[in-house]
Amino acid sequence: MRALLIAATLVGAALAGPVLADGEAGVPLAPEDAAGPWTVQLAGHGLCVISLEKTKTASGAYALRQPADCGAALPANLTGWTPSADGMKLIGQDGQPAMAFGRWSNSLFVSHQSTGQDVSLQRGALNP
């Protein structure tokens, strides 16, 4: 009976598959991991694509390229980004953090807004 219980437990564990935690959630974003296009999303809809760079600007932040068509999802005139304790921050023209994003996974960062609609950054460009 005991052998049958052990066998059933092992079969159940094998069928369920491994449970793996995302080792990147809550970890600062490294510049070499950040470089490239990121889709800005509001309420799950892609709005525009920004580009995070791994080169530093004169202010000490890493470079960021932002198109004019991001609407109100992002502050205007962002000049860079910096890693933070649990993700990253976008830097405004005044050199101060303008928006913070928590790292949910290796390819998803989320900023909780007071409006209740989260703004997210998803690795990669918009799908046509």
User: What pLDDT is stored for residue 118 in this prediction?
Assistant: 92
1 assigned to some structural domain: no
User: What pLDDT is stored for residue 127 in this prediction?
Assistant: 67
| Burial (CB count <10 Å: 0-12, 13-18, 19+), residue 43 | exposed
71 assigned to some structural domain: yes
Q: What is the pTM of this model?
A: 0.76
11 assigned to some structural domain: no
Number of domains in the chain: 1
Interval 72-123: pLDDT, tens: 889 988 999 999 988 999 999 999 999 999 999 888 999 998 888 899 999 9
Where residue 102 sits, what CATH number does that domain have?
2.40.128.10
47 assigned to some structural domain: yes
110 assigned to some structural domain: yes
Q: What span, in angstroms and rounded, lies between the C-alpha atoms of 91 and 20?
A: 33
Whether 14 and 2 have beta carbons less than 8 Å apart is answered as no
Q: Torsion angle, CA of 87/120/33/128, rounded to 10 degrees?
A: 180
